[in-house]
Structure formats: structure tokens, C-alpha cells
Amino acid sequence: MLDWFVAMGAGAGGGAIVEGVALWGKLNAWREDRQQVRASGEGDPPGLLDYIDVFPDTLVALTRVVIGAVAGVLLRDQLTGWMAAVVVGASGPALLRRFGTARSPAAVQPVQEGPSLTEGSGA
């Protein structure tokens, strides 16, 4: 079991890594489009703010870091090392979404009784 602050920090780090990868994807798309425009010689190359919306992207990044930290803390009893907490933090939104959509046994509809496999088969 990890200390809560190690789990929180590593989980937040995992969330930050994923957000960094998302930012890299946007920067890479921007660079490729700039190179295409420069190679064709038509028009001005696109600006960085055509690919990054600073305020919403910052909020999403902060949210992902917080969700990663929360996932790390919630699952710290299951984690044996800080690297596992980084992975949990990186997958935090998916893990928490999974917990949020899990149904209790009482909410699951019972299976309808149907004919058995042996009925009508002459067995």
C-alpha cells in the first residue's frame, strides 16, 4: 500500500503525462499543417492558437491531473508501487467512469426464463 501523498502525486503525474501526450498531438498537427502550407507556398501558415484553445485546454489538463490524483488516492490500497499509481492516474478518467457506470446487483434486471436447451430436442 502506498502512502496517500505518494499515490496522489504519482496519480496526478500520470494524468499530466496523458495530457502532455494530447498536447503533443495538437502541436504535431500544427507543425505538419504549417509545413504543408510553406511547401505549397499558398497562404499564411496557421497560428498555434488555431490548434490550441488555451482556456478550455488548461481546464481539461487541470481536471485530468485532479482526476488522476483522486484515482491514485482511491486505489492506493491496491497499488504496490509508485509506477502503478502513475498508470492509474493516466487511466483515471476511464477508471472513474467505469465506477460511475457500474450497476449494483439490485439494479440488474433478472434473466428471463426461456425454454431449456433440451426442450423440444427429443432428448
Q: What per-residue confidence (pLDDT) applies to 118?
A: 57
Q: What per-residue confidence (pLDDT) applies to 93?
A: 79
Burial of 47 (0-12, 13-18, 19+ CB in 10 A): exposed
pTM of the model: 0.72
Instruction: Name the residue among 86, 83, 92, 31 with its Cα closest to residue 60.
Output: 92
Q: What per-residue confidence (pLDDT) applies to 112?
A: 62
The yes-or-no verdict on residue 90 having pLDDT over 60 is: yes
Q: What per-residue confidence (pLDDT) applies to 59?
A: 95
Tell me how long the chain is. Answer: 123
